[in-house]
Structure 1
Amino acid sequence: MPVQKPVFKPYYQDQIMAIPPTLDELVAKGHPVRIVNDVINRINIQGLLNAYKIKGTSSYHPQMLLKVLVYGYVSNVYSSRKLEVACRENINFMWLNGTSYPDHNTINRFRGVRLKDALRSVFEEVVKLLAAEGLLSIEEVYTDGTKIEANANRYTFVWKKAIQTNKEKMGKALGEIWQYAQSVAKVEDGLPEPPDFTDIDTEKVQQTVDTLNAVLAEKTDLDKKVKAKLRYVTREYPEKMAEYERKEAILGERNSFSKTDTDATFMRMKDDHMQNGQLKPGYNVQISTSNQFIVNYTIHPNPTDTTTLKEHIEQHQASFGKTLKTITADAGYGSEENYEIMEAGQIEAYVKYGMFDKEQSETHDKKKPFAQDRLFYNQEQDCYICPMGQKMNYIGDSKRKTSTGFEQTSKRYQAGNCATCPLNGACHKSQGNRIIEVNENLRRHKAKAYQLLNSEKGVEKRKQRCHDVEPVFGNIKQNHGFRRFMLRGKEKVAIEWGLLAIAQDVRKKAA
């Protein structure tokens, strides 16, 4: 019986084709690379063309480079060197670039320099295109933020508190030397009282050092420790103070920055499987979405979401020339200032405040029966009634400014006699008569938000938020592996996130 042999398909590696296939034939119909090509071809990129000068040698076409970058971010290829390789070896990239082979320096320069002033307009054109197709709404959005690690050393940090502590030590040391100089100086030296070292600068330090050296220079019987200390102060303090002032200028309103990316702030990030907080240099990325399409994005150096909303809304207005109709966001944005901003802009705010979720619990009232919001208010007499039925009379206003300069005003009410009250200790823990502070404007905003959030539309908005904006961050971080920026500096980080935003919208359109 003959031995059977396996049958294989023909394999001719060196076969010459009479009519070789085109790159277009090798790219599958409906492939995401075709969506990228179609979207970029249909939008206005005049702002990008304006980034090029008329004089000089010819350049790779910016439309081609933009397509390559966007498709790179769609397919998780973020490195300029990997993009260079893909342009030579990957059929999809070769189809996009028309067999042009830009090197990694060209790609990196295009991303970091050419797109600096043009990418925002490109992103806006993409959003307008998708809105015209009915895929998203520009006026009704869901807003949230996340922290993404910067491309910076985790251990080269500068802290504002450390600078302040060191400046206090310098002031104390100068004060001690000044007191010693007063004790040994002659009457004719005329050494005045020590300067105020609570707020010192380079000029004050230099003047103090010069004065001390002038007074103590001719003293032959100085304490050796004081002489050594004065030499150290003369040599080190003016230079150190100048360095502290440079760092404080970089810090601005922040509490920290990284030496390798001075725009990055140290933030607590929960990025391991145990969700343990780790301090890392990073940026707070804010986005607004509609139907899981990114409609707007902003980059912030501050770790909290509360102070980001104003700039975020202003960016939306600048981008699309129209105010928002509705915003839906979590309790991280529920501040008096934000409610005021949204009310002034006539934006319907489905934004939670801090205690909203707890107030939905049936046991909330039972857990805190003596809480401030449980007290009865007598509007005619402008007083609150304490749990024992006694009046808490108005005693004046208190004002404070937030870190953004927003002024909050609260009315203060004080009980008449808590010393002999049987509920003393259970009603409140403070010493003396109980004082409560009532921010009537914030209370009004909370009442308005409560009504909106618990309306039929508000319940739908709250449900939609959970699977509209939050999955976008999950998709970018988990599914596409982008957890750390590759570029340094806020401007370049904004470019990188803009490319990610365009890539997210293209992926969603292709889905």
Structure 2
Amino acid sequence: MSSKRPVFKPYYQDQIMAFPPTLDELVGKKHPVRIVNDIINRINIQGLLDAYQDKGTSSYHPQMLLKVLVYGYVSNVYSSRKLETACKENINFMWLSGMSYPDHNTINRFRGVRLKESLRSVFEEVVRLLAGEGLLSIEEVYTDGTKIEANANKYTFVWKKAIQTNKEKMKKALREIWQYAQSVAKAEDNLPEPPDFTDINPERVQDTVDTLNAVLADKPEVDKKVKNKLKYASKEYPKKLAEYENKEAILGGRNSYSKTDPDATFMRMKEDHMKNGQLKAGYNVQISTSNQFIVNYTIHPNPTDTTTLAAHINQHQASFGKTLKTLTADAGYGSEENYELLKAKDIEAYVKYGMFDKQQSEKYNNNKVFSAQKLFYNHEKDCYICPMGQQMDYIGNAKRITTTGFKQTSKKYQAKNCSNCPLNGACHKSKGNRIIEINENLEKHKELAYELLNSEEGIEKRKQRCHDVEPVFGNIKQNHGFRRFMLRGKEKVAIEWGLLAIAQNIRKKAA
């Protein structure tokens, strides 16, 4: 048998040190917490200091609380209670806070109230600092959006369509009662003209049921079911309509909202764990990036990216005092309104439109020989020539207004005789003579976009977009597990995403 024994390093738990180490010595020299500390020390936080009043008791220093919050988001600690614990137990947080121990109420109040007006300026200062170091460009960006679930119960929804359906049921019931009242009071001829039920409101409904009650009150032959309907309408309809008006005011231009977070809209989430794209209350988060640094962010209640670009660009201009030079985005932003906006602001738009990717394939071009874009156009006669050589003459304009109020105009052209054409059925599926609509302004924008996107610089930007903006969302949502907001309301959600944006930029700098 071997007589050797295992050798252990000395272990003296109660050993007294002559010179105890400081917290600074225990924090690694290249640890990300030092970058957080350095950046917050270098930026101007006067806007945050202005959020405090001169009167009252002393407060924790906002610079310290900002460092704690930002480092919390850098290290995936989002809860105010966990941040409170970290300031007492985690060496990095203890060093950052200078051994201060703010409780979770203080941290939550600082995040939700103090940062409301000042976080945007803090974010902008960080972006300017990084731009000054040559790490990013404020003028050339890549833009994309993602949907993030709100802190809301998915069963507390209010739908615009349901409200409209219920109002239509009310109108129908009132019309039926009114028609019955007319038949009952026909001999007396004392029933006034029927009211206009096109647009009902609580006051109009109340006047209507009062009139009906007055007419039918002394009629013993009134059907019992009609009496019950009128009684229910008298009691419930004005109250219900007032409730619907309040809900419609909250909806604004949206189709839905959540009762637990009225600013959140129900959207189809791609990242649902069931992989079936369930509808959940959420926000549409838009970002612009440069070299995987977030340069700008905005929060939107509407699920489509198309309608977010104007507000997003305006925020960039408000933040940095100048417009962009170039913007690169996918087909979700390729609308006539957005192309017009970018042109008006003199921004070079590397923005795809809906069919751009398909147009790159030879198979698509061969299969679309009958599409309106493939037809020959005669400029002198202002007409198109169909595949059989038939002239399609201009017959007028089609005008539309988008949900944002943008006016679109398309020219309509119609063939003269499609019934006996041998290509009928292959050329188009409509019953009568073929009609095509051409939005000339949009087609011009598409031609310009096609040239830009297929230029040498355009190809590089298309490649770079996939490696610039999309990995940022992937890093935040997959690597750092942030898929659901903790705070409620658009203002607080914007604060939370602002902290995530600052954290992303600091992590990128540390890398």
Query: For this structure pair, what is the TM-score category when the shorter chain's length is used for normalisation?
Result: over 0.9
Q: Report the counterpart of residue 193 of structure 1 in structure 2.
A: 193
Q: Deviations over 1:35-93 (max 9, x none)?
A: 00000000000000000000000000000000000000000000000000000000000
Aligned counterpart, 1:213: 213
Q: Distance in 1 between matches of 2:363 and 2:2?
A: 85
Give 3-state SS (helix, strand or coil) of 1:314's partner. Answer: helix
Which residue pairs with 1:488 in the alignment?
Answer: 488
Q: Report percent identity of matched pairs.
A: 82
Deviation (angstroms), 1:424: 1.1
Q: Which residue of 2 aligns with 1:28?
A: 28
Alignment match, 1:425: 425
What is the aligned partner in structure 2 of residue 226 from structure 1?
226
* Contact 1:123 1:498 (C-alpha < 8 Å) held by counterparts: yes
Q: How do 1:351-430 residues align onto structure 2 when only pairs under 5 Å count?
A: 351-430=351-430
Contact 1:189 1:215 in 2 (8 A): no
Query: Do the aligned residues in 2 keep the contact of 1:339 with 1:445 (CA within 8 Å)?
Result: yes
In the alignment of these two chains, the number of paired residues is 511
CA pair 274-362 structure 1, distance change in 2 beyond 3 A: farther
For residues 80-479 of structure 1, what are the structure 2 equivalents within 5 Å? 80-185=80-185, 188=188, 190-272=190-272, 275-479=275-479
Deviation at 1:425, TM superposition (A): 1.2
Change (3 A) 1:490 1:503: same
Q: 1:255: how far off?
A: 0.3
Which string of whole-angstrom CA distances, capped at 9 and with x for unpartnered residues, describes residues 425-462 of structure 1? 11111121111110000000000000000000000000
Q: In structure 1, what residue type is equivalent to 2:286?
A: Q
Structure 2 vs 1, CA of residues 77 and 322 (structure 1 numbering), >3 Å: closer, same or farther? Answer: same
Cα distance change, pair 366–218 in 1 and its aligned pair in 2 (3 A): same
Kindly provide the CA deviation profile for residues 68-121 of structure 1, in whole angstroms up to 9, marking residues without a partner as x.
000000000000000000000000000000000000000000000000000000
Q: 3-state SS of the aligned residue for 2:398?
A: strand
Letter in 2 for 1:196: D
Q: Residue 327 of structure 1 contacts residue 350 of structure 1 at CA under 8 Å; is this kept in 2?
A: yes
Residues in 2 aligned to 1:207 and 1:187: alpha-carbon distance in whole angstroms: 23
In the TM superposition, what is the alpha-carbon distance from 1:2 to its structure 2 partner? Answer: 7.4
> Is 2:56 the counterpart of 1:56?
yes
Give the drift of 1:198. Answer: 2.7
Q: Is there any run of 5+ residues in structure 1 with no aligned partner, and where?
A: none
Q: Does the CA-based 8 Å contact 1:168-1:198 persist in structure 2? A: no
**Equivalent-residue separation in structure 1 for 2:105 and 2:39 (angstroms):** 26
**Distance in 1 between the 2:197 and 2:97 partners?**
64
Q: Could you tell me how far 1:270 is from its partner in structure 2?
A: 1.4
Report the 3-state secondary structure (helix = DSSP H, G, I; strand = E; otherwise coil) of the residue aligned with 1:220: coil
Structure 1 contact 70–502 (Cα < 8 Å) conserved: yes
Aligned residues of 1:160 and 1:248 also touching (Cα < 8 A): yes
SS at match of 1:370: coil
Alpha-carbon deviation of 1:477? 0.2
Q: Supply the distance in 2 between the matched residues of 1:117 and 1:216 (Cα, whole angstroms).
A: 59
Paired with 1:414 and 1:442, the residues of 2 have a C-alpha distance of 20
The CA deviation at 1:4 is: 2.1
What amino acid maps onto 1:68 in structure 2?
Answer: V
Deviation at 1:220, TM superposition (A): 2.4
**DSSP-derived class of the 2:203 partner:** helix
Question: What is the CA-CA distance between 1:253 and the residue it aligns to?
Answer: 0.5
TM superposition shift of 1:31 = 0.4
Cα root mean square deviation, aligned: 1.1
Map of 1:19 onto structure 2: 19
| Aligned residue type for 1:460 | E
**Other structure's SS at 2:362 match:** coil
Cα deviation, residue 187, structure 1: 5.0
Distance (Å, rounded) in 1 between the aligned partners of 2:365 and 2:455: 21
Deviation at 1:216, TM superposition (A): 1.5
Instruction: Tell me the amino acid that sits aligned with residue 333 of structure 1.
Output: Y
SS at match of 2:143: strand
Alpha-carbon shift at residue 275 of structure 1 (Å): 3.3
Give the TM-score normalised by structure 2: 0.99
Q: Secondary structure, in 3 states, of the residue corresponding to 1:353?
A: coil
SS at match of 2:396: strand
Residue 509 of structure 1 aligns to a residue in which SS?
A: helix
Per-residue deviation, 1:274 = 6.2
Name the SS for the 1:277 alignment partner.
coil
* In structure 1, distance between residues paired with 2:308 and 2:357: 22
* Residue identity opposite 1:60 in structure 2: Y
CA shift in 2, pair 1:206/1:5, >3 Å = same
Letter in 1 for 2:337: E
Letter in 2 for 1:35: I
Amino acid at match of 2:294: I
| Partners of 1:116 and 1:495 within 8 A in 2 | yes
Q: Distance in 2 between matches of 1:350 and 1:22?
A: 53
Q: Matches of 1:84 and 1:246 in 2, distance apart? A: 39
Q: What is the distance in 2 between the residues matched to 1:274 and 1:390?
A: 52
Q: Give the residue type in structure 1 aligned to 2:351.
A: V
SS at match of 1:219: coil
Match of 2:67 in 1: 67
